Structure 1
């Protein structure tokens, strides 16, 4: 069998399980007594181990197996979680993630995890030290790995199968004493059994059997419709099998073999479902149907196919605009009616295509709790991360790029913002600092905020460092407001850290954040109050593929300005233009804002607004800054498809891309952010 065909599926499933492991481990660290979390963690680890072994990634399967052994003791109440165990399991998760990443990069997933395995084995033996004392395990821990007990899930599967008319057998298979290839015989037994039914559990595990980590016998729980005689005959037909002892299970014997009563195991899942049902206002039957339907109607789609779909739809959108233009020129009722219907249908199709590309920011947010936990531990701080709005959706192209900027903002908040426990107590605050990570929609934008209740930004200190680094002069600094001082932390190479560490102090970070967010068509602002905390606010466009824009003219040339940046349009007279310190300004909403000549910025060859008595303007906004831009004439609003200018035109000032209009002309897309200083 060619396993490469399943590699993509393995990677997707592994990442899902690793994320679930991280999330549940963090929850368990907050509530170590919650055994339901341990069960969930164990199931994820068990599934990941089986997948890895099937795909031939033995190092991945082996490390997961060692972690699974520790979790097995915990879920059977034979071991209590403590700081050392949590740290060791988290290190194991890091190693697993590194192995999966190596596989993604084309590697074999091999890694030296000797130290982690030794730590896990010391936990199993109970000979590690915790706070000066030895860890304690129950007396029967040494047999935990050899126990034939069933967990709740396995017991419930067996019970439900028996209730539906199937037979459940406990089989002990013994190979001959002089058997040379025990693993091969075990494989042949499993092959026979799986043709006759479904194997629920084996002891030792499948991996141990493959590695011949057993003496002469192994046991299997199986659900089947075959008779005892049929199974015995099939097993004994395999050479070098000495005996096969089959025991038909009933409800009473099943209860004695399960780690928890089978009935209780079966009832557990419906109780959880009932809580969800009451929230959704549905009955048990409707919930069951709904969950089945959702499972069967959800598929994974290759990202490249979505990109191809978007490109094809973009071409269709260009043709739609062209048809609308032709229909308005020809003025034939049948054509106009058909084009209008096509426009309505394509608008609905556009919404569907865009929604297909929308991804919840949870796909980015879900890696931050673990990161903040590790940072807080390394800095000896107590920090709570509160995430809200994780279901807010963004275009996939934006999601792919926003992760690293948010990492910088969170690390900055944890390192520079939140004080140490002693500093917080001295300031009259709770010893645990809080970092809020929230996302929400507003118009055609998504806002992501990182806010903490730490020490705040010292504007005077920031200004002093900025002057020292030559970012601005003392005279320029005296004119800055508090918010403008705070924005100086985004200057290239700027750092307020007193010493360089693994986390900060190298002068790399916030300038990268602003550069990346600006390249996405967004902006970032910061507000802060000394002693109360700091808030970073990131504004991002919903999508980077299809946008609404205002089409304008500059002489014979056409340009597009994104509507998301336009506050309003208007006409001004030359007599209303003010000159302040040599700069042209106009009055707008009780404020004085700069007037920018787009023809001068873009060096338009056949239009000069200085000769106009009246000129059209577009008022644009970037954060809390405003500017008015002079244009020749307005063409109107339109949906446009963004096209890259290519690698040869990467540094074109004030131009972010291009689009093809309905008449086939190319219009450049103006970057409003570049027009506001």
Structure 2
């Protein structure tokens, strides 16, 4: 299926796309809600209004494919609204599948509008909708739902018409009613809007384009309605005559556009005459009396206007060829203001480039503080040092404002990820036979677009796990004294300049003893280590590569994508994940994410005359720890901190920089880091300062260094390595 559109009307197409996008928002979620709130008239009306609005726009634009799809959905919603059919699982499946195809078409339409170079030989933009196979299958499902149960043989689907005939043959009266409603709506807009605007301003290009689209839509509606009528229908002749008039009028309008003529009074009078003819013909179609309306006179008038325009030389009409007056002095004040753009479209690449430039500015601003200190200490120029510091403060303020501005542009709501989840929960419930509901909180929480794109798959996996492994079957829940419907909560919120995403269920929870036994059987841990592990450490065994408690492979889980992949994907964007679970109470998984991965804050430390940076996101706290409080056991070091035993290690030892001697009562600078599941103390020589940094990834052989996530530049030009705390904890424990 394909359609050609005129690139001259690109602004109208973009306006139409924006309108559709607004109607699309939350559409799938509303349909899922319809399954459990089938008597909610307000919900049904809202869905009907959205789909009808989209269909009307597609009809205006002449996009038959989208018109057809929205028409099918609209008729289904109409039957629900009129209580002609009960809402059930199969019907919801059909509606969801139809919305998927609709979204696919709109996405293809959107992608094509961005590609201005794909014009065909006729200088038109060709849009191909590759949905015919899927659409025929969906229409077949609809046919199975709406087929008359009293008939012995079901109606065979007419695949040649893209499936439209199936539904229309079942509801001939409704199809005619819908056809009349659409055409009357177009006629009403022509007479009460477009003609009035063109009468006031004959060069109103927007009104003219809208008129042309309306006439084109009427012609398409007539052709579509004629295609389903039998040859014996009394309306066939009437519609054939009507089609000729509308086709010729469209040709005249296209010629006016191509010749860049103003919509003069003669055209306006003819337009009103044609609109009256259309209304009279619609009455004949509604009554099905076969009464033919005299149309020869109208056709002659249209042909005369076409003949006149084709005979006029462009050079003789140069002064009348412009639709819009270019001289601003002749344009009314309100029109000038209305034409000012309210927003612009900027590509992601440009935003990323701007963010990189701001990152470089961040490095440069750090140099001012270093230079100020150098002038004061080394060159004894305190006055000059003070001036440089003041300039540095100004640059710092400007860079912070720029950073905040670009960050606000890059921020998007997590709603784009959350909206997929109700459908996933429903699919899992159908596959497993369980009863469950999803509660979503904090959909408006904002986070960097780059992080949103990368967090989608991990959240999908965690939601599937909660539904498949966490929620028990209804009978088991009832035996435990729970509600038969399991509850999964997906929550997002901001806290301390970070974003937290929680996936919580009220299911059976995670049994640490089962995880322990599985890990022992598969050799992940030794029995000696198992006895020393806490409940939290045992639960975190599920993040080990290849570890699974699934007894069998299902359509939902057991696909080879484990929790280790989820964890590694989250850590790639400087995030972390933690688990809290109680048997028969439920499980909560908390994802901790930075607002952005472009710029971070870190703690600068010295170790054996080398400088490193700890990302602040993973630092729990920094403390002075007395050497006598550190104890050795089996080659590992431990200390008691706030009534909790944590592991201790020297960073110089982990990085093979040599062991440092220390006195028994020496106070050691300790950075306590956390991976979300446990804490660990790393001893360094000196704690310096906290500052912002821009991470630069390491390439080649350097990319695989354990414990290092990248590098950055300090204000003095020194290259320093950025520590990966997650890797360091694993290194220290191995």
TM range (shorter): 0.7 to 0.9
**In 2, are the aligned partners of 1:655 and 1:670 still within 8 Å (CA)?**
yes
| TM value normalised by structure 1 | 0.76
Alpha-carbon distance in 2 for matches of 1:201, 1:77 = 34
Q: Which stretch shows the higher mean deviation, 537-546 or 330-339?
A: 330-339
SS at match of 1:610: coil
Partner of 1:260: none
- How far the C-alpha of 1:650 sits from its partner, in A, is 3.0
For residue 473 of structure 1, what is the aligned residue in structure 2? 526
Query: Per-residue deviation at 1:347?
Result: 1.7
CA distance in 1, matches of 2:395, 2:181: 58
CA contact (8 A) 2:625 2:668 kept: yes
For these two proteins, the number of residue pairs brought into alignment is 601
TM alignment of 1:600-639, pairs within 5 A? 600-604=653-657, 608-610=659-661, 615-639=668-692
In the TM superposition, 1:292-441 aligns within 5 A as: 297=342, 299-330=344-375, 331=382, 332=384, 333-441=386-494
- Larger Cα Rg: Structure 1 or Structure 2? 2
> What's the counterpart of residue 99 of structure 2?
93
Deviations 1:518-557 (A, max 9, x none): 2222222222222221111222222211111111122443
How large is the RMSD of aligned CA atoms in angstroms?
4.7
Q: Does 1:84 align with 2:106?
A: no
The correspondence of residues 81-230 of structure 1 with structure 2, limited to 5 A, is 81-97=87-103, 108-111=128-131, 112-113=133-134, 114-121=136-143, 126=148, 141-147=171-177, 166=196, 194=209, 199=214, 206=221, 208=223, 215=236, 216=240, 217=242, 230=267
Q: Is the 8 A contact 1:78 1:141 kept in 2?
A: no
Aligned to 2:687, what secondary structure does the other structure show? strand
Distance in 2 (alpha carbons) for counterparts of 1:68 and 1:617: 65
Taking structure 1 as reference, are residues 194 and 298 closer, same or farther at Cα in structure 2, changes over 3 Å only? closer
In the TM superposition, residue 228 of structure 1 has moved relative to its aligned partner by 11
Residues 458 and 100 of structure 1: is their aligned pair in 2 closer, same or farther, counting only changes over 3 Å?
A: farther
**What's the CA shift string for 1:49-75, capped at 9, x where partnerless?**
677789998656544443334335545
- Structure 1: gaps (5+ residues): 130-136, 169-190, 238-242, 258-291
Query: Could you tell me whether the CA contact under 8 Å between 1:424 and 1:431 is conserved in 2?
Result: yes
- Quickly say closer, same or farther: Cα 1:444–1:610, change in 2 above 3 A: farther
Shift of 1:625: 1.8
**Residue pair 1:122, 1:128 contacting (<8 A) in 2 also:** no
Provide the C-alpha distance between the structure 1 equivalents of 2:713 and 2:225, rounded to a whole number of angstroms.
61
Range moving further from structure 2, 479-488 or 372-381: 479-488
Of 488, 497, 505, the residue aligned with 1:452 is 505
Q: Find the aligned partners of 2:551 and 2:9 in 1 and give their Cα distance.
A: 50
**Higher normalized helix content (fraction of residues):** 2
Match of 1:23 in 2: 29
Distance 1:489 1:614, change over 3 A: closer
Distance 1:383 1:159, change over 3 A: same
Tell whether the 8 Å contact from 1:596 to 1:629 is kept in structure 2 after alignment: yes
The verdict on how the C-alpha distance between 1:66 and 1:227 changes in structure 2, with shifts beyond 3 A counting, is farther
SS at 1:630 equivalent = strand
Aligned partners of 2:190 and 2:211 also within 8 Å = no
Is the contact made by 1:609 and 1:632 (CA closer than 8 Å) also made in structure 2? no
Change (3 A) 1:524 1:589: same
Change (3 A) 1:502 1:100: farther
How many Å separate the matches in 1 of 2:470 and 2:45?
37
Paired residues of 1:570 and 1:617 also in contact (CA < 8 A)? yes
2:270 corresponds to: 233
The secondary structure found in structure 2 opposite 1:415 is helix
Tell me how far apart the structure 1 counterparts of residues 693 and 149 of structure 2 sit (CA, whole Å): 67
Asked if 1:37 corresponds to 2:82, the answer is: no
SS in 2 for 1:471: coil
SS at match of 2:703: coil
Call closer, same or farther: CA 1:158–1:56 in 2, change over 3 Å.
Answer: closer
Cα distance in 2 for residues equivalent to 1:4 and 1:514? 48
The Cα of 1:617 is off from its aligned counterpart by: 2.3
Q: CA offsets per residue over residues 470-515 of structure 1, 9 Å max, x none?
A: 2113333233333333222222222222221111134533221122
TM-score (norm 2): 0.70
Structure with bigger strand share is 1
Is contact 1:3-1:55 (8 Å) kept?
Answer: no
Q: Contact conserved, 2:536 with 2:677, CA < 8 A, in 1? A: no
Match of 1:581 in 2: 634
After superposition, the Cα gap between the structure-2 partners of 1:409 and 1:324, relative to the gap in structure 1 and judged at 3 Å, is same
Where structure 2 has 5 or more consecutive residues not aligned to the other structure, the ranges are 1-5, 113-126, 152-166, 199-205, 230-235, 250-261, 288-336, 376-381
